[in-house]
Structure 1
Amino acid sequence: MTKEEIIQIFEQTGAMLSGHFRLTSGKHSNRYFQCAQVLQYPQYTEKLCGELASRFAGLGVQTVIGPAMGGILVSYEVGRALGVRSLFTERENGRMALRRNFTIAPGEKVLVVEDVITTGGSVAEVINVVRSLGGEVVGVGVLVDRSNGQADLGVRTEALLQVSVETYEPDHCPLCSQGLPAVKPGSRAVE
């Protein structure tokens, strides 16, 4: 798939939003990628995740894993495309954990996936979970990297889209200075 085809899918589904957003990282931004808008369409999910999976074909991936919530569908569909199982991590007492009797064997080759990264914090936590169980992280695949190339996860990382989006610390946010309410994406919460 070309970058233009990928952008067209995000635009058609309303997944690229403009406004004032409070991101999971705590930072603020004027743009947000709501990948759930894309992932609600199986035909687009299959295409996008198939493209992501193709970038890791031949590496012997045995398992794909992503953080709940955004990484669950991406993990499932990339796993399907690669013909391997799919897992997800969840927060337990504020920490990322492998639950539901999911296991990773020592030496198992694992691909970590996510819908969007800004700081890469959630993906880094998943990498730590995999490694703590003896798994080998072969790479990270994301639909959208909005870190401006700053998220260094220490492993091969592939993104379908790399976008430069300005983010602001809440104390220095020009949108807050304008009195615009910040919306926490994925919820109806307004600050």
Structure 2
Amino acid sequence: MEERLRKIYARSNSAIALKVIQGHFATSQSHITHYFDMTTMKTRCAEAENVASALAQKYELSTPVDTIVCLDGLEVIGAFLAEELTKAGIHSMNAHQTIYVITPEFSYNGQMMFRDNLQPMVKGKNVVILIGSITTGKTLQKSIESILYYGGIIQGVSAVFSAVAKVAGVEVNTIFTKKDLPDYESYKPAECPLCRNRVKLDAMVNSFGYSKL
């Protein structure tokens, strides 16, 4: 499968490359035609810093940010994003005048939760959600609802790739869109044309990676 891997370079910064594998993949909610391998983006400091710099450019200087909630294992990018926002003059409203970078837990049914020790970093705080890829927006919508439940104030959503422009009325700040990958498609499992045509699944995929079938 790895021989099908290709790179798509960001229009805003040619140093940012999204690794893409075309095929037939199953997520927990849908079947998709492309898998995004963000492993090196998440683990190599130079790549993570470039991604963070690109995402930071789209925020207004007047937007306060207290907390970055990292999904999909993007904590390294989240730390660089906090640094970039601070350098750009983005101010935090919390008592410590700094940006928190935190990761939630998820229950067995996919519900986002924050332990008691992290809740003060969400309640009443200006929150930016950082996520790897957005396909249908359902996971992100649940995340937004959860942060609002804990008293957070959603100031923005940042993603490496997003197939949608808005979720729950919140505009997605993204590096790659469907314009960069026009043949990308997502289907409900019961409506997947690849399945109807008896195309075998290549792998089960999630934010941790893929498992070949």
Q: TM-score range by the shorter chain?
A: 0.7 to 0.9
Quick one: which of 3, 21, 37 aligns to 1:17? Answer: 21
Whether the aligned pair in 2 keeps the contact of 1:107 and 1:135 (CA below 8 Å) is: yes
Is the strand fraction higher in 1 or 2?
2
Whether the aligned pair in 1 keeps the contact of 2:42 and 2:74 (CA below 8 Å) is: no
Structure 2 residue runs without a partner (length 5+): 1-8, 87-98
AA partner of residue 82 (structure 1): L
Quick one: which of 27, 33, 50 aligns to 2:36? Answer: 33
Paired residue for 1:122?
Answer: 139
Distance 1:77 1:182 in 2: 33
AA partner of residue 93 (structure 1): Y
Structure of greater Rg:
2
AA partner of residue 65 (structure 1): V
Residue 187, structure 1, aligned to residue 191, structure 2: no
Paired residue for 1:138?
Answer: 155
Secondary structure in 1 matching 2:204: coil
AA partner of residue 21 (structure 1): F
Paired residue for 1:4?
Answer: 11
AA partner of residue 172 (structure 1): E
Whether the aligned pair in 1 keeps the contact of 2:41 and 2:51 (CA below 8 Å) is: no
Residue 44, structure 1, aligned to residue 47, structure 2: yes
Aligned residues: 182
Paired residue for 1:166?
Answer: 185
Residue 76, structure 1, aligned to residue 95, structure 2: no
AA partner of residue 97 (structure 1): M
Distance 2:142 2:76 in 1: 18
Residue 87, structure 1, aligned to residue 97, structure 2: no
Of the structure 1 ranges 44-53 and 97-106, higher mean CA displacement relative to structure 2 is found in 97-106
Quick one: which of 60, 63, 67 aligns to 2:67? Answer: 63
**1:124 shift after superposition:** 1.9
Distance 1:57 1:90 in 2: 29
Secondary structure in 2 matching 1:138: strand
Of the structure 1 ranges 132-141 and 174-183, higher mean CA displacement relative to structure 2 is found in 174-183
Do the aligned partners of residues 45 and 156 (structure 1) sit closer, same or farther apart at CA in structure 2, a change above 3 Å counting? same
Distance 1:107 1:98 in 2: 14
Whether the aligned pair in 1 keeps the contact of 2:136 and 2:186 (CA below 8 Å) is: no
Do the aligned partners of residues 85 and 115 (structure 1) sit closer, same or farther apart at CA in structure 2, a change above 3 Å counting? same
What's the TM-score once normalised by structure 1's chain length?
A: 0.81
**1:189 shift after superposition:** 4.8
**1:160 shift after superposition:** 0.8
Cα deviation digits, residues 51-91 of structure 1 (max 9, x gap): 11222252111111122x34433333322322422011121
Cα deviation digits, residues 108-158 of structure 1 (max 9, x gap): 1111110111112222222222211222111111110024x4x52322321
Q: Percent identity?
A: 21
**CA-atom RMSD, angstroms?**
2.4
Is the helix fraction higher in 1 or 2?
1
